[in-house]
Amino acid sequence: MSTSKLGCDAFLALAAIGWADGVLDADEGAGILRAAREEKLSPADLAIVERATHERIDMAAIDHARLSAVERTFLYACAVWLARLDGRVDPAEKHALHDLGDALGIPDSVRTHASAAALEVAQLPSGDRAARYDFRRLRARVEERLANAGVTPP
């Protein structure tokens, strides 16, 4: 499994996806913050991420250039999970996912594997609940699926 750490920008991008339908649900915000804590972001970065879970943030505000290939692919998989968390993906969320994939430079084949990995982890017991979603397992599953398919992240 990768040891590269996700940075603040990755979690801000997740919050932007959560806000795509106009509302970031409390469960979505809690999941984003829990994942940021698991990555051991600095207190200052945690405060920035927490603010983004309370105040709408736009995807255009995120500096995608600072994200590594692993971060970009994992971020896309997390965004797919987050968009489906409330049981539906509305047109604004679909559009935001498409825009995110384009902004991150993720080819369709990588998007497909990342989406499948997100759904596999979500189907685990309690995986559809933000408080129990296993981000570390998702990260490992994304990397495993890509390696098995011979696909390299962008």
Q: Is 31 helix (H, G, I), strand (E, B) or coil?
A: helix
86 assigned to some structural domain: yes
28 assigned to some structural domain: yes
Q: Please, which pLDDT band fits residue 1 given cuts at 50, 70 and 90?
A: very low
Tell me if 122 sits within 8 A of 133, measured CB to CB. Answer: yes
Q: How far apart are CA 81 and CA 104, in angstroms?
A: 17
3 assigned to some structural domain: no
2 assigned to some structural domain: no
22 assigned to some structural domain: yes
Q: Please, which pLDDT band fits residue 42 given cuts at 50, 70 and 90?
A: very high
Prediction pTM value: 0.74
Structural domain that includes position 67: 8-149
Considering its fold, how many domains does the chain have in total?
1
